[in-house]
Structure 1
């Protein structure tokens, strides 16, 4: 199934994911760590929590795509728990370093994969269910994660805007 059009679509999805990561990384690197202590809106998550959440979700790609174990399973609580229940929050600098490490390793893994690999089932779906729903593939997971990052990037922008009184 390695035809040129399919390869192009796979490349576009990977580029979408990569561009989202770059935009988020640029945002993280643009602002002082103190900015992330604030909430994106009254009563909403802090920037630190959202950064930890994004790191944890990206780390989860290793297991769902069948690339190995998570590098930082201790961050899983930032997926399962609300900010109030997650407990202590990590240092922003530590989260940024983990974000960069995870994404560099994912980039290296993605570069090795074939089109057929991307169109194969992800690890959270059984072979029987995948046979019924072949859209539950690895490429769809990556597309979903990139869209998820975009959503949270939209929230992070509010950390740097003055509140209206």
Structure 2
């Protein structure tokens, strides 16, 4: 295994473990628990789940792996704070989206070679990437893994 392959495996293993941790937690929470705020005046679990789906959905075009599937979630879960949008998908709908999305991301990630992960992502220009090659697809996985772990930590407060 090359150094690049090892690095990619380490990072993708951490991503997959973080997804599994969040998935296990979300599956252990009832629909009622996900409707609660993580702390008084803070985000509800349903908002955090929807936010994670919306952010992860944007990874597909960002990594040049296809189009986003859940653009309808952007207004409620990216562009607006919790409780600013009155009509949200149900917890059941979000759970279904989460399950479909994690599978699609896994399938898409599995298609990429180690070399592919060191290519630029779509929000960086070729000129900027030439100067900053660390702005690659693998770096997106690192930042999204940290983001996922942060929000998983918030969801723990719903237990």
TM over 0.5: yes
Instruction: Write the deviation string for residues 23-81 of structure 1: whole angstroms up to 9, x where unpaired.
Output: 11111111211101100011100000000001111111101000111011101121121
For residues 86 and 68 of structure 2, the distance between their equivalents in structure 1, rounded to whole angstroms, comes to 20
2:40 equivalent to 1:56: no
Unaligned runs of 5+ in 2: none
Report how many residues are paired.
158
The TM-score normalised by the length of structure 1 is: 0.92
Contact kept, 8 Å, 2:29 with 2:158, in 1: the verdict is: no
User: 2:20 is matched with which residue: 5, 19, 22?
Assistant: 22
Within 5 Å, give how 1:89-128 maps onto structure 2: 89-128=88-127
Instruction: Write the deviation string for residues 99-156 of structure 1: whole angstroms up to 9, x where unpaired.
Output: 1111111111111111111000000000001111111000000110011000001111
Structure 1 segments of 4+ aligned residues over 6 angstroms from their partners: none
What RMSD, in angstroms, separates the aligned Cα atoms of the two structures?
Answer: 1.0
The TM-score normalised by the length of structure 2 is: 0.96
Unaligned runs of 5+ in 1: 161-165
For residues 92 and 30 of structure 1, the distance between their equivalents in structure 2, rounded to whole angstroms, comes to 13
